[in-house]
Structure 1
């Protein structure tokens, strides 16, 4: 018994580990160095105020030259206790300019004196000391944004004994918080193991996704097509290409020199429009061979940007034909006029170009800024820190994690700085987004940095630690949510908790009237309903948009690498997974559980399981029959009472990753191996055969359920379709009799008789199916026509 209780307690504890918890960080800051610095009044009120000693090293002048080399290669060294940071050095430059900022955390300060040294890198084996400047930390001023930056000053260099030497250095030293403008670009004390090449990859940055447009190419017709083989009637189609996107029209139904298509090819294009539209008219010579009959290359900047559904003027474009000729023994391509093509091309800005999974969309605005509405609120997120992160790499024979966060909402991406070698990093960075629709999701992911240079790690892909999603509509206005969310990932070995992420979130509503209007407004821009895309088009366009966003953000500095962007955009969410299929099935069953429970309750009432309840239902039935005008008010009042009662049980915190809902706790190892398999598969033939058989089994059950639903619908249709003449004749005669009876009988009497019949005592019931059920089951369906 004791062993069973222990196992039960362990399972409960394990489930609690996967749930979000309340966090109580000290928000808004406190004091630094005793009474030295008072609490700063800033807008960073969702994070703990972190105090830093900032040192801006600007430049130096009149530095002495070496007596041996006749020049100097100067660099500056900022030292505070056991911590020191160095600038880059310049060769043979007595007047260097560094423009670097160093930040020393309050928690790591172990000295009351700050020293800035200027040294000569060329003085090998000798004292390379050129001069220094010392500061007493008690005399360092405090800067409170939005005050202007502290102006740097010239300081005379001193020797080790305090005597003046040749040369001056321009510095600025102050105390500030992470709200300071210098914070993102500063060198931090926890990055001492990172070399200069890796510094760029640990800084916090804000990114903006490229503005995406749908490029709609309406291929109408072509004229005077010249086939390569004279006398042959060509089978012509048009192939379009924009960057890596390739689409084609159908082959013209008639073999003619003036083919007609009138088809749309839709691509995704990003500003600035670097790619070009390449159209080729091709002839299907054989099933495996196509010949180019004409080609045209058009820059995207020449096309109009359409904001609504107004028609676009069509234009004729001349095609160029490529033929092979010989000139001086060398092959060359000879351009000559062949024919022309009729196009209608535009950049559609009235659509929202989705670059993420439709399940977790974070922006629903159209591309064209002219169509944007006013924001309805502000979303503020404070990324506080993480706890109990697992080691993701090995450094010096010990496990280590270099964690940073990525947050994505709308077009704005943010990246926090990387905290080196810490399993409990503290970021305390706060960011703000404008909210245009509450039914959107912000995603915050945590990653391990593998691009710190030779001094800080490898150069592989950044590893995912976990992510958190928060739907804005689930947040109450003006309320600060401070929670610790579990970071959960699914690996081939099963579900795994990687740590916890502490967040502080606040949504501020700017206009309640506008908010109410948004709830009655269509989810997507108008163009999605006037000229909708097919499901296959949307899947293809979404994939192309993800690819473009990943490529563009990968060109930033520091780059958001492809593996990070794809994880944030849920690129793999549309792939088949047995686990997801089970999870979605049980989600559907949970939806029907309420209706099933209601039917079970009514069945218990009608069978007099609880006589008191049945009598009360009889009383309610009599009241509603006597006063039918109370039926609808009673229904709405009942829903109001249920809503008010459920207010006590409303969610107190945003939703988290639910391992039980995701069906990740009881997933079979082979199903996990199938989910993490490559596409196309890389598994042996016998494994693939087993999985194919399993897939056929599952699909067979789904097919049976769908077929049963179709059968019931077809039986309902057959009531009046005379597929069964006798059944239809009986039904229409019943309808005639029912109409006469209902016409001469008051509605109250009909309702009372029907209610009493349904609530009759079990003594008056038969265990055989009722007549309407028997009649309905005998109706024909189209199942008889299935092969």
Structure 2
């Protein structure tokens, strides 16, 4: 390994002992040192100076026209934040909150200045100066601090015309003003517009509730072909938004083609799009001619939570523009359908291996929550520079956490490779067999750039691996696979706590199937699931992209693992290694049995023979003995259980370091490919070689199975 390259230790999970909520975490327990700690007990306490600018009154006129366009500038040392200006208003109202990090304050005096917006130079209207030593400290859940009127002073400190209503206090991120405050940690790097503040503020998003739409196309009646001497070749095309699918083509001499075929779609509440059904006739040279069309609002479609039969309905089709007498006679064309919104399914929008929610769509069949998951996003260290600014590498980073329908986004820390977020969030847990996903990204929208937000890394934590009531504080390495190999992009410090309301309820959930009942009663094919998941991801990305600030499409796709279905040699090797590890236990038992047969340990061999004789004499003891052995083995292995949540990125298992550069280049190739024909021919020959080996292995397994079957016969 080259000097300076990361070692295996750098790829491991590291336990930390930060001070959270006024106390230090030791061995998964918070040792309290401050009894005034608030509900934000999974993050480090950060103090902020909050300045609420409410309104002003009786401001003096400054322009020659006798008007004033006021705005307010709050300044502490070299840091300042500015409100928007209000045109021609002597009694303006802003009602904004500024937040200054107390650890960055360089002065003990707060200056709140009212100015008049001008084209050349802004005029001074008045100011209020406050000593920070006299500013009160507010600890939630104290009552909000009431604003009060302050008389404006001129530059010499003498009273002047006009008053400003302010509220100034020192609080923490647990303050209710924290979410709405304009935080600008590096004001010299950005403009002070409201749009810039919107780009860096924290936000909680709610993903839309997704439904499966089942369109059962039964038949078409009273079909009149456009040509008398030709049998129509008819199909039905269904479309909802950008989703388009068709039935198979059917030729019917009775002019009543029948399909009884299901077409599936994904839609989101509220239902904005309509279902458009078109009956088409395949004419010469592959051209489809429209025979009729009907538009159905999704709000009129019946919802169901089980597999009960939905009553069918007949729909009259609208005719296309008539071009001949035959089409004019086609005035009774009708379509027979069964439509339903299937709420008994869980609409998969993320990788099946890392689902964060397994509930069905319909709320009436939801079970009550069985616990609460709390996440504290503390900080990141040693981040890889993602952009150049003033001749040095830097990054404007924010974190996104996703669990269930709730997405959260921390505020953007500007120009910092060691950002401190200290944001805390919570989710209701309905099933422990789910996964929390936390990603960190570089904000590329600052400074007017329209580039994509760059992904830095992602952490996944399985809830079932967490001990209830324990606080997990670990530093997670951010490992990303690049075309040049695996690269460590930094470390992300998290604090996690899972609280279970009822242990009995959790054990009952483990005894139930993983997915809702409808997935087993009327299952989808693998091809259908892949197609529907692709549509679900696009819908979620479009909805979250409408929020302010928007959660961009590349962020949503990365969090949902949109490329998890793509094939690569590295993933094939990794899955083969995982399969070998699964069967390694059987191999170990085979070696142990061989050692018994060879009498390598006479005592063990004698004990096994005694147990075998007892099983032969008393067959009823076979199953109790097996279960007793499994129970004792579980008790023995319990003390070796991991004391930290297993990290889901394993460099050794994922084959990230053993893969060649050509295989990495193939994995990062676009789809469809953008490589040359010679390179594709070489990769195709390599794929044929691998497929040949797999074919031999499958054939050997089939041969052994046939021998076992013949023996049993």
TM-score range, shorter chain: over 0.9
Shift of 1:30: 7.5
Shift of 1:190: 0.9
* Match of residue 97, structure 2, among 90, 95, 101: 101
Matched, 1:167 2:167: no
Q: Equivalents in 2 of 1:273, 1:553: separation in Å? A: 16
Q: Equivalents in 2 of 1:223, 1:591: separation in Å? A: 56
Q: Equivalents in 2 of 1:123, 1:131: separation in Å? A: 19
Shift of 1:129: 1.4
Matched, 1:14 2:7: yes
* Match of residue 60, structure 1, among 56, 63, 73: 56
CA contact (8 A) 2:223 2:330 kept: no
Deviations 1:122-168 (A, max 9, x none): 1735x721111122222222223333432222221111232211111
Shift of 1:287: 5.6
Q: 2:543 matched to which residue of 1? A: 552
Deviations 1:195-224 (A, max 9, x none): 223221111000011111111111111111
CA contact (8 A) 2:231 2:251 kept: no
Q: Label 1:347 to 1:388 Cα distance change in 2 as closer, same or farther (>3 A).
A: same
Q: 1:726 matched to which residue of 2? A: none
Deviations 1:694-715 (A, max 9, x none): 1111111111111222223334
Shift of 1:526: 1.5
* Match of residue 529, structure 1, among 499, 520, 533: 520
Matched, 1:24 2:17: yes
Q: Equivalents in 1 of 2:401, 2:582: separation in Å? A: 32
C-alpha RMSD over aligned residues: 2.3
After TM superposition, the score normalised by the length of structure 1 is 0.85
Q: Equivalents in 2 of 1:595, 1:459: separation in Å? A: 55
Taking the TM superposition and a 5 Å limit, the aligned residue runs for 1:444-593 are: 444-454=438-448, 458-593=449-584
Q: 2:27 matched to which residue of 1? A: none
Shift of 1:90: 2.1
Q: 1:156 matched to which residue of 2? A: 151
Q: 2:182 matched to which residue of 1? A: 187
Q: Equivalents in 2 of 1:474, 1:26: separation in Å? A: 24
Q: Equivalents in 2 of 1:708, 1:302: separation in Å? A: 55
Deviations 1:635-691 (A, max 9, x none): 333322222221221111112111111110111101100010000000000110111
Q: 1:405 matched to which residue of 2? A: 399
Shift of 1:448: 0.5
SS of the aligned residue for 1:322 comes to coil
Q: Equivalents in 2 of 1:628, 1:344: separation in Å? A: 56
Q: Equivalents in 2 of 1:614, 1:10: separation in Å? A: 53
Q: 1:232 matched to which residue of 2? A: 230
CA contact (8 A) 1:380 1:505 kept: yes
SS of the aligned residue for 2:115 comes to strand
Q: Equivalents in 2 of 1:706, 1:94: separation in Å? A: 84
Shift of 1:447: 0.4
CA contact (8 A) 2:62 2:123 kept: no
Shift of 1:627: 5.8
Taking the TM superposition and a 5 Å limit, the aligned residue runs for 1:114-153 are: 114-122=110-118, 124-125=120-121, 128-153=123-148
Q: Label 1:451 to 1:40 Cα distance change in 2 as closer, same or farther (>3 A).
A: farther
Unaligned runs of 5+ in 1: 1-6, 32-37, 327-332, 721-730, 732-787
Taking the TM superposition and a 5 Å limit, the aligned residue runs for 1:213-362 are: 213-252=211-250, 254-286=252-284, 288-324=286-322, 337-362=331-356
Q: Equivalents in 2 of 1:287, 1:619: separation in Å? A: 80
Q: 1:739 matched to which residue of 2? A: none
* Match of residue 661, structure 2, among 649, 661, 669: 669
CA contact (8 A) 2:224 2:330 kept: no
CA contact (8 A) 2:304 2:341 kept: yes
Q: Equivalents in 2 of 1:25, 1:679: separation in Å? A: 45
Q: Label 1:10 to 1:164 Cα distance change in 2 as closer, same or farther (>3 A).
A: closer
Matched, 1:418 2:412: yes
Count of aligned positions: 699
Q: Equivalents in 2 of 1:581, 1:464: separation in Å? A: 25
Q: Equivalents in 1 of 2:399, 2:371: separation in Å? A: 24
Shift of 1:94: 2.2
CA contact (8 A) 2:183 2:197 kept: no
SS of the aligned residue for 2:637 comes to helix
Q: 2:383 matched to which residue of 1? A: 389
Q: Equivalents in 2 of 1:263, 1:630: separation in Å? A: 53
SS of the aligned residue for 1:321 comes to coil
Shift of 1:182: 1.6
SS of the aligned residue for 1:667 comes to coil
* Match of residue 642, structure 1, among 633, 636, 639: 633
Q: Equivalents in 1 of 2:672, 2:342: separation in Å? A: 34
Q: Equivalents in 1 of 2:407, 2:465: separation in Å? A: 21
CA contact (8 A) 1:72 1:122 kept: no
Higher Rg: 1
Shift of 1:624: 5.0
Q: 1:77 matched to which residue of 2? A: 73
Q: Label 1:371 to 1:129 Cα distance change in 2 as closer, same or farther (>3 A).
A: same
Q: 1:754 matched to which residue of 2? A: none
Deviations 1:604-648 (A, max 9, x none): 221233445434434544555566555444433332222222122
Q: 1:680 matched to which residue of 2? A: 672
Matched, 1:41 2:37: yes
Q: Label 1:39 to 1:60 Cα distance change in 2 as closer, same or farther (>3 A).
A: farther
Deviations 1:87-144 (A, max 9, x none): 111232222222221111121122222110001121735x721111122222222223
CA contact (8 A) 1:486 1:501 kept: yes
Q: Equivalents in 1 of 2:690, 2:518: separation in Å? A: 38
Matched, 1:653 2:628: no
SS of the aligned residue for 1:207 comes to strand
CA contact (8 A) 1:404 1:418 kept: yes
Q: Equivalents in 1 of 2:256, 2:363: separation in Å? A: 40
SS of the aligned residue for 1:354 comes to coil
Q: Equivalents in 2 of 1:553, 1:99: separation in Å? A: 27
Q: Equivalents in 2 of 1:181, 1:191: separation in Å? A: 23
Q: Equivalents in 2 of 1:50, 1:27: separation in Å? A: 10
Q: Label 1:681 to 1:334 Cα distance change in 2 as closer, same or farther (>3 A).
A: farther
Q: Label 1:617 to 1:10 Cα distance change in 2 as closer, same or farther (>3 A).
A: farther
Deviations 1:352-387 (A, max 9, x none): 111111010110111111111100000000000101
Q: Equivalents in 1 of 2:169, 2:108: separation in Å? A: 14
Q: Equivalents in 2 of 1:424, 1:334: separation in Å? A: 73
Q: 2:31 matched to which residue of 1? A: none
CA contact (8 A) 1:453 1:459 kept: no
Q: Equivalents in 1 of 2:156, 2:53: separation in Å? A: 22
Q: Equivalents in 2 of 1:281, 1:713: separation in Å? A: 50
Shift of 1:577: 0.8
* Match of residue 713, structure 1, among 671, 680, 705: 705
CA contact (8 A) 1:314 1:345 kept: yes
Q: 1:89 matched to which residue of 2? A: 85
Deviations 1:526-565 (A, max 9, x none): 1112222122111111111111101111111111111000
After TM superposition, the score normalised by the length of structure 2 is 0.94
Q: Equivalents in 2 of 1:319, 1:223: separation in Å? A: 11
Q: Equivalents in 2 of 1:214, 1:91: separation in Å? A: 51
